[in-house]
Amino acid sequence: MKTSIQHFLHSLPIPICGLILGTVSLGNLLYSEGMETVGNAFCTLGIFIKGLFLLKVCFTFKHTMSELQNPIVASVAPTFTMALMVISTVFERVIPNAVVNDLLWWGAIGLHFALMIYFVVVHILPVDLSLEYIYPSWFITFVGIGVIPNTSAVFFKELGEVIVWIALVLYFALLPIILKRVVHQKLTERAAVPLITILTAPGSLCLAGYLSVFEQGSAWFVAFMLLLSQTIYFCVVAYMKNMLAVGFYPSYAAFTFPLVISATAMFKSALFFANHPLIFGFLQALTIIETSFAVIVVCYVLGKYAVHLYQQTKALIAGHSY
């Protein structure tokens, strides 16, 4: 029994943190939209998977750290800390003003910046950079800090007001580079193809963060960011059939959070334009569509991951028995 558990923990890939982030974020979105029971269910499931991953880190620490030698895996690793920040808001909702919630949030931020520094020192500075070396997952590493303003309202809003601008600068600095990489030099590794979905996340993440910390924001800026992020969103959604055709890889986790945060940004934008009935009605309709699509995709990826982990664990146990 002990060996089976160890094999299961060993089979949990770092990219599953992206699925955790997407699942808990979806729970928060559904909760905000008035579906408290379903929202709490997704949050609970995401936190449960997070607990399993923390066990993996504890019991297979060397193996987990060795995975960070892969530049693509290292670039998605900050989803671990992004998920912790989102989970801390769930804890704050359940147990308000608990010191442990603040410690978790601040600790996640510190670790997130540590992972950013690690990525730069290990995977950027020693390398002669070329376009082929850059992946959409770099958005996670550098613009993932956009989760801070999205979660700062219940912890330290002033920090979020600063970080959102840094995230925006990094987003617009990386956007033309990564778009050129994806459009002109297609991703050849099959496992990396789902990472294209990440293109939809940073713009929506920055927009949602902006709306979270600035109640009286610029309508023109919100409209611009919404138009930009939604244009990319629909382009990526149109390409999803091709991405799904590559078959399952742990990188399927990339399908989840980008779709969830796009729906979240749409939801917050609809509230922002609540005093404009026509705009509000249109954005609210899109919110329903995008939220529904996010639920379908997250459930699909959860199912795919469950099958994958079962097969991986079974194979590891079988290999160990010989």
- Provide the pLDDT confidence category of residue 106 given band limits of 50, 70 and 90: very high
Cβ neighbours of residue 211 closer than 8 Å, sequence gap 6 or more:
217, 222, 265, 268, 269, 271, 272
Please report, as a single letter, which amino acid is at residue 71. Answer: P
pLDDT beyond 70 at 231: yes
Rg (CA), the chain: 19
pLDDT beyond 70 at 25: yes
pLDDT beyond 60 at 317: yes
Q: What is the pLDDT of residue 253?
A: 95
Closest CA to 13 of 200, 254, 321, 319: 254
- Provide the pLDDT confidence category of residue 315 given band limits of 50, 70 and 90: confident
Helix (H, G, I), strand (E, B) or coil at 188: coil
Number of domains the chain contains:
1
Over residues 111-157, the pLDDT tens digits come to 999 999 999 999 999 888 888 888 999 999 999 999 999 999 999 99
Please, are residues 254 and 18 in contact by the beta-carbon 8 Å criterion? yes
Q: What is the pLDDT of residue 128?
A: 84
Q: Could you list the residue range(s) of the whole structural domain that residue 167 is in?
A: 2-321
**Where residue 165 sits, what CATH number does that domain have?**
1.50.10.150
Over residues 116-125, the pLDDT tens digits come to 999 999 999 9
Extract the tokens encoding 93: 């909702």
Q: What is the pLDDT of residue 285?
A: 97
Please tell me the pTM assigned to this model.
0.93
**DSSP conformation letters of 211-280:** HHH-TT--HHHHHHHHHHHHHHHHHHHHHHHHHHTT---GGGGGGTHHHHHHHHHHHHHHHHTTTSHHHH
- CB atoms under 10 Å from CB of 252, counted, come to 26
Over residues 240-252, the pLDDT tens digits come to 999 998 889 999 9
- Provide the pLDDT confidence category of residue 316 given band limits of 50, 70 and 90: low
Q: What is the pLDDT of residue 81?
A: 97
Please, are residues 304 and 244 in contact by the beta-carbon 8 Å criterion? no
pLDDT beyond 80 at 318: no
